[in-house]
Structure 1
């Protein structure tokens, strides 16, 4: 089943009329109806009638319940009588009893006055506690088993709400506020208003009808205008003027009045309201269905367009795939050797790095440490402590530029199948590639030459061949050349030689030899697969590359040496830079000290001058003393 929340927010591009299948307002409305239906379903699913009595203190709630039960079960009377919550439940037994909260002890129903009466309540029970009163079903009309918990927690979900009002006063805002809360939670609750203690109006019979009309108007206004739960005609059937005590005393034969009507009202009102909600929801869903159908047609048309476009794309892809495959094949054939050279260069570079880099790094680090130790005394103490941060010892990565792309650019593979016991293979095996080529071409005097080096760097001359080896090779070449000349002149020689062999060894041996020869040829032919071609190709390239790489050993070594030299020079330059900084600082310090020395020299000279002047003054004073003072003393 589609959830109400699934219908909102469906956007149809390209069609403004179908911009949204359902609006957000529809979604909110359906969700509200769903909540109300859930509450109604919960109420209707209960197998019992739950009645909530509400009213002010001493309005007669307990008296009304006693009247419905045909007996004075709950405490009632003048003053604040009921001081706790009372839950009246049916029992299958024939005896009534009660149980207090937190206790499994069955107590006599006669003790309810001592337990629940506010005037003489048990000290062990707190105000607001729950007391379960179990009343026999035989004495209880329209009441089934219900183990309800606190009434204040579930009173809003009750099937019937009874407002017990005091006829001696009027409806108060507190009572109205409670039922406004109920109306917000429950869709059109079943509310009855009992104007209790109507017997008090008998003391003033001349005002009885006026008071009755006043209560009726205010109750009708509350049910119809404020709560809007019933029509004015139905509201008159929900307002009663009773005296609970008189009903309790007079009811002897039949349970009458509210219970049967409340049962009918409960199911009837909720059913009608549920139908109204469902009609509204159906209208909304119908509009959603129509919009969805229009969108479906639009989507089907769009799907057909997309299918046509997909078929067109697939056809074009097939054509483009063939074209691209052809181009890829051409490009692959063009760059095959380049990629192979790059692969070889990368692999050899890694091998060289693994074998040489560690040793080179160790040697270079040792040299760097020696340089640092040698220059360290030239630096101040502060720089020596920071030297490891100024010149960090990091791992040096050598770069091996093998340039295999140019080095192996003239490599030509030969992966054509050749039988190992074939004529050309035997000649190549015994004479070598160059001499075998000359023999097969019919030259009578093959010349032995070393292949010309492709590198410009000079190589060491090969060792000269010994005379014995040369003579043996010349003899073998002469025999094979003569045999080749014989077979090339005429095919009759083959027939003659075959006949001679036939007569000499017999046909059986010849057949066995030919069979073995053919089986060997067939085996080698079948095993000449792609993998075998790959192995042959790799072997040819390895042989070719090995010869070529011998030429770049010195170049690679020189390149690595240059890199190491450059790294070492960089380290030394950094150290020299620190030394230069130290020298500059020293020069500045020397200049400062020189200036200070000059100033001190001036001060010293001035002090000497002043001292000499002081000595001079002392001498003058001495002279003055001798001249004038001693002379005065002598005269006296």
Structure 2
């Protein structure tokens, strides 16, 4: 080839070095921008999922009607999925795999694209394993050899990756080369280049594809222009096409500088290679149409010349190695790089981010649908709860009115029953007082006029009268009284049952009036008649003393009647001065004294006159007969004054005294009985009506709880609406991302199949 080397120095191409190549408008920036955009979107998604999970946890904990536990558990897993997607996005890059037969110049092509002699290259089988070049933010390059993570010097790469080295690695091993991004534009833009060993050195192509090629965005088949596409190369690409949907493939006809030895057949050879490339890509793999392949998928280049031009060997002459027509081949290589950058950028955006975008939309749509569902359910539940609260409030008002009406009605009823009891007891007690003498006559106990025995007799009589009166009152009043009580009890119970729930109705039914309740008619005769003084001494009925007492008693009765009349006439004059009462009392005393004086003087005169008349008219005989009769009558009464007569007189005196005393306590006894009945009914009413208070308390608690539920549902509704709006915004951002990076119309330089 020395005869074909040009003599002039390519001055105009010499300055084109790595650092002078602008990359501000490089198509590779599309991937970087898309990666930054989708990362920001998924950060928003991560925050949104976290906020949603907190909200959904609160919803699930408080009310399972809005969200089931299983649904919540499924949604909780979204956070982990988003975190995993963010991790994958941070590792996402554009990956290109260079493959072909041994010694076709794959490593040289990569060095030319990197504008640095990074990979070992030479004649024969040079690359022994997979070499992956990726960028690092560190200033020095280093190598990672599996399975160790210990960095090694870049100098060791010649021994590690070379087939000529004694320290050979397996052909499916992957050696990572971390090269500073600042030194290489491609690596700076998240491009990873993978150099493969010759596909003709191993039959395990499927495993290669599984291990290193499934995540590749572009495949570059490097073919020696001095030969043609081999069966092994076609088989490899067929396997790739089976595992990947519509792979992006470029074919580089390398070593095209050798065509200078056959200038007369340049066009025919070029057309032959092009036809075979189109047959393979279009007819066999069905990836592109022929025009796309002819213009943008098959390139005729010289990687050696590109390396010499971009990264010349300092030890060689600047004029060494360039054959005739090298400028066209360098331009072809540049065109390949341009099309390659456009293709890998857009292909990587699609292959790497389209799935993330769709997954992000699925997550957002799932959460948005959940928020919409919670919004609808919370709104529906809120309406139901408001209706229920209204019903409870109306029920509370109804119970309030019923309770007020019941208390007024029951109070009137109890007052009516108490007044009726008062009247019945008063009437019955008055009846018993009227027949008190008959009752006392039934008292049977030995009577003795001995002063020491009289108190004992009185005590027993007091006790017996009290017991018999109480018994008579009980027997006469029991039926009517308890019938009234039972009627009130039933009315109270039915009224209370009409406003309480079924559970409390049974409790109200279980309430029974006191079985031991009985109206006590305590007359307390012992104290009531403690002042009773009997007079059972013998008194002749025709004696002057007896006559005098009867006359005085008659006068007292008349005075009492007169005073009663005066009191009834002067009942309205209670405000008279005390001196009037004193004058009235003095007048009464004077009248009584005059009566007594008049009676005494008249009796003496009448007695003397009568004796004188009898003496003169009838004589001593008649007077003697009268005296005998008077004495006989006295003797008879004196003989008839036995213990029985004394007992009858004692009982008659006691009956008169007890009657007069008991008449004084009729009102008190009747009032006491009425108060007992009123207290019993009031206690029963209070015991029964407390279930209404319990019902009211329950309703009040329900109203408070329903108010809290309404407030909580309103809060859930508002928060769900807010989260739905966030989901709409994120979905809009994903749609904008899809429109900008995934749905942009493809140029003619991109795979027509998308």
TM-score class normalised by the smaller sequence: 0.3 to 0.5
Higher relative contact order (CA 8 A, sep 6+): 2
TM-score (normalised: structure 2): 0.32
TM-score (normalised: structure 1): 0.37
